[in-house]
């Protein structure tokens, strides 16, 4: 019965993706990305179970670490730009174009 888990992870991934597209607040966008990563994790562990090997679970741990590192960097950047612009809207940051 692993299919449901897969569907769920796909849904989560899709929601995350849509979120990135529709939300303006940089933090929220970033959270959506994290959501996508976690969707991946879900998929990994599911498949791990499906194949009956633990690679997937191990990978999930790796991903969490990476995600954490990403959070550190990401928040640093977002905070800096927030301080400069007094806004966390990703749409404001659109000087670079064409």
Q: Which residues bind another protein (CB under 8 A)?
A: 6, 9, 13, 16-17, 20-22, 24, 26, 29-30, 33, 36-37, 39-40, 43-44, 46-47, 50-51, 53, 55-56, 59, 62-63, 66, 69-70, 73-74, 76-78, 80-81, 83-85, 90-91, 93-98
DSSP three-state, residue 89: strand
As measured in angstroms, the least distance from the Cβ of 86 to another protein is: 9
Cα–Cα nearest to 47, from 78, 6, 16, 77 = 6
What backbone torsions phi and psi does residue 89 show, to the nearest 5 degrees? -80, 125
Q: How many CB atoms lie within 10 A of CB 16?
A: 21
In the complex with another protein, the residue whose CB is nearer, 1 or 85, is 85
In the complex with another protein, the residue whose CB is nearer, 4 or 98, is 98
Contact 68, 61 (CB under 8 A): no
As measured in angstroms, the least distance from the Cβ of 61 to another protein is: 10
């Amino acid at each position: 019965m692993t299919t449901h888990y897969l569907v769920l992870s796909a849904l989560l991934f899709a929601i995350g993706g849509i979120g990135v597209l529709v939300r303006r607040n940089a933090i929220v966008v970033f959270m959506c990305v994290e959501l996508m990563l976690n969707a991946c994790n879900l998929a990994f562990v599911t498949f791990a179970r499906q194949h009956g090997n633990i690679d997937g679970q191990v990978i999930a741990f790796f991903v969490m670490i990476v995600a954490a590192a990403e959070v550190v960097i990401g928040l640093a950047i977002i905070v800096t730009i927030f301080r400069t612009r007094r806004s966390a809207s990703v749409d404001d940051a659109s000087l670079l174009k064409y």
